[in-house]
Every structure is written in C-alpha cells, then in structure tokens.
Amino acid sequence: MKNIVYFDLETQKSAEEVGGWDKISAMRMSIGVTYSTARGDYKIYGEKQVDDLLTELQRADLVVGFNHLRFDYEVLHGYTSMDLRQLPTLDMLVELQNTLQHRLSLDSIATATFGLEKTAEGLQAIEWFRQGKLMEIAEYCCFDVKLTKMVYEHGVNYKELHYHNRFGKKLTVAVKW
C-alpha cells in the first residue's frame, strides 16, 4: 500500500517578527501534524520531535499538503540541511495556481466543496503558542490536515474541486492528481 502522508505545521513566530517572508526558516515550528495512510492515523509533533517528523516525511511515498513547498518545508529547513523539496510531493496550492493563474485558500476550497470552514488561522496559532495552548494548536492543525486529505481525495475521486472566487461565486476547477 502506498504511504501518503498529509502534512501541515504551525509556527512560533510571524513573518513580521523574523524580518519578512524571506526568513521563513526562522519562524520555528510550534506543532506539526501528519496523517499517514500506512498507519491510518494522525501524529502530532512538538518542536522537540521535529527530527521524527522529518523522518516520517522522508519515508513517505508521497507528501501532500497545501502551500507546504513555499511555507511548511521552509520552516523545517530551519532544522535540517536536507532539501525537503526533493521529496515526492504534491502541493495542491501550486497545482491549482498553475491551472488557474491565481492562488486559492484551503478554506475557499473546503467551504465550496464540503461546506466546512477552517477553525482558525495561522496568526491565531501563534497567539496560542505564546499562551502555551499547544492543544488548541494541535486541534487546529489536525483539522487542517483532515481538510487537506479530504480535498486531495475528492480531487482523486472526482477529478475536480469547487472553490469560491473573490466575489463569492462558486466555481469548479479540474485537477489531475
């Protein structure tokens, strides 16, 4: 069986705090979450377990995420010299952007396709980190991984996704994954 690992992480610091979006690797991971099809469950990683997270990603047949090439992998590059972009990866944001010529949010797709909304956003997770609320971050991150998995599987099964454009109109885009 192919081991697909769905992946997301949250950070300790914002881009503003580290001096800009060109310094993503300085943001530090607060919580990372994976769902492995081989294991059939979620795994939550704190910063102290980042090496275990990196090992899981390296062992995956495919890592699936949303904006993880540009963001999540860059955060992890603060912990490793390995180029994570060399892993077998499907970044759904990149694929959709290549098709549509503009970016979509995971929330836009999840809302239009499933009627589900994300439970928070990244800046809220940073605030939770400052407050020591790691369980809230883990729950939020797990839900994002679940949405990522649902979006990927919907695309595989139906070869299309729905999304809301900036004017609120529901549209459909074909996908090839």
Ordered mean pLDDT values, 10 residues apiece, the chain (177 residues)? 96 97 98 98 98 98 98 98 97 97 94 88 94 97 97 98 92 96
Say how far apart CA 167 and CA 93 lie, in whole Å. 19
Domain carrying residue 23: 4-174
pTM equals: 0.94
Q: Label each residue of 6-42 as H, E or C.
A: EEEEEECCCHHHHCCHHHHHHCCEEEEEEEECCCCEE
| CB neighbourhood size of 15 (10 A) | 16
Using only the alpha carbons of the chain, give its radius of gyration: 16
Q: What's the total number of domains in the chain? A: 1
**CATH number of the CATH domain containing 168:** 3.30.420.10
